């Protein structure tokens, strides 16, 4: 029997609301969002748009820490991690956002459960805001648009012989969900999967993943 690996998106999947949306609502002005329009107009890449928008955040380190602390995490995410550890299911978090707020918010889980985080590197200073760096172009998980390729992460784990379980909620999760062995989808990803005829598990939150692990489905 194949060993299982869990690959999860972070924003809107592990967290309840995207960092991007939280920042727009609470830290940025409409003028700061021009890079997103440039991305939609195909003038710049996805990660360049995020880099441009997040570089407009100029709050104190203390205020930023408090802001990141206010990110809400799925209540059952810790339980899912415990179960994955028990059943020796490695956990990967892949995010087309940046690693900065993931590490700040769930550092203790990453360490305790040996989670692999694959994302763009983010650095912050009050003067310059965030600076995003994608992986090196030769990195196996590099993608020229989003910086990291979630699809490449799933492909890599499949090649290692894992039964890949993907959890996500958005458009950037589509390519990964298409090739994963099992999919937990909500939001825009669920809408896509329904249209594309991709079978998905019910996914209102990590409680559903806990149930699936316990019932031996995964």
Q: Percent helix, strand, coil in the chain (nearest 5)?
A: 45, 20, 35
Strand extents, DSSP E, the chain? 4-8, 91-95, 116-119, 121-125, 129-133, 142-143, 147-148, 163-168, 182-185
129 belongs to the binding site for Mg ion (CB under 5 A)? no
Measured CA to CA, the distance from residue 5 to residue 123 in angstroms comes to 29
Number of residue whose CB is nearest Mg ion: 12
169 binds Mg ion (CB under 5 A): yes
Binding part of the chain for Mg ion, among 120-128, 131-139, 151-159, 167-175 by CB under 5 A, reads 167-175
The least CB distance from residue 14 to Mg ion, in Å, is: 9
Nearer to Mg ion, 35 or 170 (CB): 170
Give the long-range contacts of residues 58-65, CB within 8 A, separation 24 or more: 58/126, 58/127, 58/129, 59/27, 59/126, 60/126, 61/124, 61/126, 64/124, 65/104
74 binds Mg ion (CB under 5 A): no
Least distance to Mg ion from the beta carbon of 60, Å? 28
Query: Of the ranges 26-34, 54-62, 100-108, 169-177, which one interacts with Mg ion (CB under 5 A)?
Result: 169-177
Does 9 help bind Mg ion (rule: CB under 5 A)?
yes
Site size with Mg ion, rule: CB under 5 A = 5
Among the listed residues 4, 7, 11, 155, the single contact to Mg ion using CB under 5 A = 11
Nearer to Mg ion, 59 or 208 (CB): 208
Chain positions contacting Mg ion, by CB under 5 A: 9, 11-12, 169-170
């Amino acid at each position: 029997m194949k060993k299982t690996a869990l690959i999860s998106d972070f924003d809107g999947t592990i967290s309840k609301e995207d960092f991007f949306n939280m920042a727009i609502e609470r830290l940025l002005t409409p003028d700061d969002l021009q890079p997103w329009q440039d991305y939609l107009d195909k003038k710049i890449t996805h990660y360049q748009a995020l880099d441009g928008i997040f570089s407009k955040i100029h709050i104190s380190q203390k205020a930023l820490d408090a802001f990141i602390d206010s990110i809400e995490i799925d209540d059952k995410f810790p339980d899912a991690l415990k179960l994955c550890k028990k059943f020796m299911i490695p956990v990967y978090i892949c995010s087309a956002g940046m690693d900065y707020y993931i590490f700040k918010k769930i550092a203790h889980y990453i360490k305790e459960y040996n989670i692999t985080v694959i994302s763009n590197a983010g650095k912050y200073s009050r003067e310059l805001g965030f600076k995003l760096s994608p992986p090196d172009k030769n990195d196996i998980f590099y993608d020229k648009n989003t910086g990291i390729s979630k699809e490449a992460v799933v492909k890599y784990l499949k090649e290692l012989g894992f039964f890949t379980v993907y959890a996500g909620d958005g458009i950037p999760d589509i390519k990964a969900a298409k090739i994963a062995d099992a999919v937990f989808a909500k939001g825009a990803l669920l809408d896509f999967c329904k249209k594309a005829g991709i079978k998905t598990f019910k996914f209102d939150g990590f409680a559903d993943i806990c149930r699936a692990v316990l019932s031996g489905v995964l």
